[in-house]
A and B are shown apart, each in its own frame.
Chain A
Amino acid sequence: MTIDRREFIIIGATVAAGTALSAVTPALSHTVAGNQSPLDVPPSAASGKNQWGMVIDIAKCTADCTACTDACRKENNVPLFGDPKRDIHWIRKLTIRQKGVPNATERYLPAMCFHCEHPPCAHVCPVAATFRRKDGIVLVDKHRCIGCRYCMVACPYKARSFVSQHVEAGPDANPNAPIRMHGVVEKCDFCVHRIDAGKEPACVEACRQAGNGAMVFGNFGDPDGEISRIVATGEAEQLRADLGTNPRVFYTHL
């Protein structure tokens, strides 16, 4: 195929127009979705102004509810293989009981990737496939991960799962979630595709819709925001704060 000058100009103009349009489109959706955003932060490219995080009130987490974990599986197409040792979990519900106390009450809390400020997983990743975005979200580049699993060994919160077999995306799969690839490690990404579209993570939405409202997602970059105010009271705790990883997920009534 040969291209003469006229065609070249047409193609060039088309590409240029497309680029310009795609640059404008996010700005448009910005204003439209901005008003409806439950995050109350206009969607935009990851910026250091937003520091996403979460506060979970475990007093509101109930025994028989699995709304958050179910919603996560659906939103991110997280499969169950029927093999508890190899099932992939982006979020799981923990049952805890005070050690050494007879008849201690059972309490419940969801746990996911805590998007640490100093993520051990990202520190050990030999190819920087795990990285921390400007807005504090710790992500895994599935196309770069070599599957060495060092991050799984280094994560203090057991937030990571290895895809140890092939997974086909079913017909009901959410097309917005990333495609799954065998031989790589994955974990909760705070529903980054939803955040970038101005929506809060699926688990938080499901928890509220289930009537519990135990999970609050927000922006630590905003000192007057809800999660900042809760953490400022000094009543919110991080898991294994002694490790110095500074997780972005806090718990109250722990």
Chain B
Amino acid sequence: MEIKFSRIEVDSKKYLAFMTAIGLVAALAPASAICLFLEGHRVTNMTNQVPWGMPIVMAIYLIGASAGSLVLSAMSSVFGRVEFKPFARMAATLAAILIVAALASIILDWGRPDRLMIPFFHFQPRSVFSLNAILYSSYMLLCLVYLWAMFNGKKHLERLLGLTAVFLAVLVHSGTGAIFGFVYVRELYGSPLLPPSFIAAALSSGTALMIIILYYTFRLSGRYLDPRLLTSLGKLMGVFIIVVLYFLFVENVTRAYAPANYEESSFLLLHGGKYTALFWIGLVGLGMIVPMIVGLNQRLSRNIPLLLGASVLQLAGVLIELFIIVIPAQVFPVELFHDQEVSSVFLDGQFADYSVSLIEWTYSAGMMGAVVFLFALVIRLWPMVPTEARHLEPEEELAAEKVEEAAV
């Protein structure tokens, strides 16, 4: 069945009001970034103990959502999931927008964002960051070419680029996981499981994001969206969450097994105060188990408001997961000695205290706002959204194609 795409036609007053509101949220990002650059990082809660704060969490979150979206976009052309074809364009667009926002989040958090071009001229092959600079830029380019192929009906090229996109998305987000996984000096970072774990979380959060985006795009533009499409995405989200939980379980049990890591593990899992609470309640309970149950249970996932709620929880859950990966490893004091208690004016041996500062919140909220703003703009300017999205099982799809062929 041929899917027709068109630009969204909406009441221009409402659209303008929406864009103004979300534009103001998006404006928080550059405003915060300018403040950060002019005043220095002292305006944040990032310190010499916790050099990486919320902007880094937000950056890797956006990269994950982008990678997840791109894989979903390629589902129809690469994995033959024809029922996902209606949102292939939207997902690829979202992937491109998310990676741009992610790169902005990383770069504007540098101490010297004015040195933007330096990574392109000075390369350090042993640095995961340096490799990622190449991966992220080529990924961004691929998103655009892939979209172009989709727009121009180049089916073979689309399939080829889709396959490349899946490969590159996995590589890109493995690279993001490796940023932390390769840091062998901090027990709460160093782990070969982080790259695959990041991929799983990218897929689950990317699917959750797609459920929300699909629902609101179709609803606000007054188009028909088959609820079965959302339900089947919900199921997919549930499966991905199982994988996320599996990696989380293996990683933490393996770490906690070694006596040398008792202190680190018990800090994260037992008595780390807000981090422990976030881990069990925010991440495992509300962020993963609840959306997993809703997504996998056929009766629950047919309840669309419930499924939307579960998707929001999953999006928050992955954000919390990344927070729990990035922050506690820095809060836990660097171990200069295995057998000595240590203290100094440089706060050696002390647990750092970190909470997200106001400017880090505005920075992060602004980045999210920018993603929504750009997406709403793009679907107004270009035909990204199908005029209607029907969910067809593969057999139905095949039958429909035959009918079309017969007509021709």
A240 touches B111 (CB 8 A): no
List, in ascending order, chain B residues with CB within 8 A of A95's CB: 342-344
6 A-B residue pairs with CB within 8 Å: A85-B49, A97-B340, A154-B185, A163-B111, A164-B42, A164-B47
Q: Which B residues are CB-close (under 8 A) to A150?
A: 127, 129, 179
Contact B336 A111 (CB under 8 A): yes
> Is B152 an interface residue, CB under 8 A from the partner?
no
Which residue of B184, B340, B342 has the most chain A CB atoms within 10 A of its CB atom?
B340
- Which of A84, A97, A129, A184 touches B345 (beta carbons < 8 Å)? A84
Partner of B330, one of A83, A124, A153: A153
What 9 new A-B contacts, CB under 8 Å, besides A153-B52, A156-B336, A243-B185? A85-B347, A92-B345, A92-B348, A95-B344, A125-B124, A127-B123, A146-B113, A153-B183, A184-B112
Interchain CB contact under 8 A, B52 and A149: yes
A168 CB, min distance to chain B CBs, angstroms: 13
Distance in angstroms from B345 CB to nearest chain A CB is 6
Task: Give Cα distance in the complex from A55 to B51, angstroms.
Answer: 30
Q: How many residues of A contact B (CB 8 A)?
A: 54
Q: B48, B112, B119: which contacts A161 (Cβ < 8 A)?
A: B48
Q: Are A146 and B111 in contact (CB under 8 A)?
A: yes
Q: Which of B295-334 contact A (CB under 8 A)?
A: 330, 334
Enumerate chain B residues within 8 angstroms of A49, measured Cβ to Cβ: none
State the CA gap A147–B51 with chains docked (Å): 10
Cβ–Cβ < 8 Å partners of A93 in chain B: 344-345
Do A126 and B347 have beta carbons less than 8 Å apart? no
Q: How far is the CA of A119 from the CA of B192 in the complex (A)?
A: 21
- Residue of A at shortest CB range from B40? A165
Q: Say yes or no: A147 contacts B340, CB within 8 Å.
A: no
CA distance A128 to B186 in the complex (A): 22
CB pair B185–A155 under 8 Å, yes or no, is: yes
Q: How far is the CA of A155 from the CA of B335 in the complex (A)?
A: 11
Contact B342 A94, beta carbon cutoff 8 Å: yes
Closest approach, in angstroms, between the C-beta of A110 and any C-beta of chain B?
A: 10
Instruction: Say yes or no: A127 contacts B118, CB within 8 Å.
Output: yes
Please tell me if the beta carbons of B130 and A94 are within 8 angstroms of each other in the complex.
no
Bitwise, B95-124 to A at CB < 8 A (1) or not (0) is: 000000000001000111101001100111
Q: Which of B51, B119, B186, B341 has a CB less than 8 Å from the CB of A146? A: B119
Q: What are the interface flags for B331-370 relative to A under an 8 Å C-beta threshold, 1 for contact and 0 otherwise?
A: 0001111111111111110001000000000000000000
Query: Does B330 contact A126, Cβ atoms closer than 8 Å?
Result: no
Q: How far is the CA of A231 from the CA of B154 in the complex (A)?
A: 68
**B111–A162 touching, CB < 8 Å:** yes
Can you list the 3 inter-chain pairs with the closest CB atoms, starting with the nearest?
Answer: A147-B111, A183-B111, A126-B129
Question: Which residues of chain A come closer than 8 Å to B214, judged between CB atoms?
Answer: none
Contact A157 B42 (CB under 8 A): no
Output the least CB separation between A229 and chain B (Å): 26
What residues of B have a CB within 8 angstroms of the CB of A86 in the complex?
Answer: 42, 47-48
B39 within 8 A of partner (CB): yes
How would residues 172 to 192 of chain A score, 1 for a CB under 8 Å from any chain B CB and 0 otherwise? Answer: 000000000011110000000
Residue A232 lies at the interface, judged by CB distance under 8 Å to chain B = no
Choice from A88, A94, A144, A243 contacting B343 with Cβ under 8 Å: A94
Give A86 to B111 CA distance when docked, in angstroms: 14
Instruction: State the CA gap A128–B179 with chains docked (Å).
Output: 16
Contacts of B40 in A (CB 8 A): 163-166, 182-183
- Measured in the bound complex, the distance between the Cα atoms of B184 and A120 in whole Å is 9
Within the complex, the shortest CB–CB distance from B116 to chain A, in Å, comes to 8
Q: Are A158 and B128 interface neighbours, CB within 8 A?
A: no
**A46 at interface by CB-CB < 8 Å:** no
- Judge whether B48 and A162 touch: CB under 8 Å: yes
User: Closest Cβ of chain A: how far from B343's Cβ, in Å?
Assistant: 5
Cross-chain contact B336 with A148 (CB below 8 angstroms): no
Tell me, yes or no, whether B255 is within 8 Å of chain A by CB: no
**B133 within 8 A of partner (CB):** yes
Q: How far is the CA of A148 from the CA of B116 in the complex (A)?
A: 11
Would B112 and A147 count as touching, CB distance under 8 A?
yes
Cα–Cα distance between A183 and B127 once the two chains are bound (Å): 20
Chain A, range 87-112, C-beta contacts under 8 Å to B: 87-89, 92-99, 111
Asked if B124 and A126 make an inter-chain contact with CB atoms under 8 angstroms apart, the answer reads yes
Question: How far, in Å, is A115 (CB) from chain B's closest CB?
Answer: 16
Nearest opposing residue in chain A for B341, CB measure:
A97
Docked-complex contact A158 and B41, CB < 8 angstroms:
no
- Which residue on A lies nearest to B340, using beta carbons? A96
Q: State the CA gap A22–B113 with chains docked (Å).
A: 36
Let me know if A239 is at the binding interface, CB within 8 A. yes
> CB of A123 within 8 A of chain B?
yes
A145 CB-CB contact with B under 8 Å: yes
**CB of B344 to closest CB in A, whole Å:** 5
B126 within 8 A of A: yes
Instruction: Give CA–CA (A89, B347) in the complex, Å.
Output: 11
Complex contact A183–B52 (CB within 8 A): no
Using Cβ atoms and an 8 Å threshold, which residues of chain B touch A185?
111
Task: Say yes or no: B348 contacts A164, CB within 8 Å.
Answer: no
Q: Which of A85, A94, A125 contacts B127 (CB 8 A)?
A: A125
Identify A153's interface contact among B106, B127, B186, B345, CB under 8 A.
B186
Within 8 A of A (CB), among B168-184: 179, 182-184
Does A152 have its Cβ within 8 Å of any Cβ on chain B? yes
Given the interface pairs A111-B336, A239-B336, the reply to whether A146 lies near B115 with Cβ below 8 Å is yes
A84 to B115 CA separation, bound complex (whole angstroms): 28
Bound CA span A149–B106, Å: 11
Contact yes or no, A127 B185, CB < 8 A = no
Q: Which residue of B lies closest to A242 (CB)?
A: B338
Quick one: closest B residue to A151, CB to CB? Answer: B51
Q: How far is the CA of A243 from the CA of B185 in the complex (A)?
A: 7
User: A117-141 toward B: CB 8 Å interface, digit per residue (1/0)?
Assistant: 0001001111111000000000000
Closest to A157 in B: B336
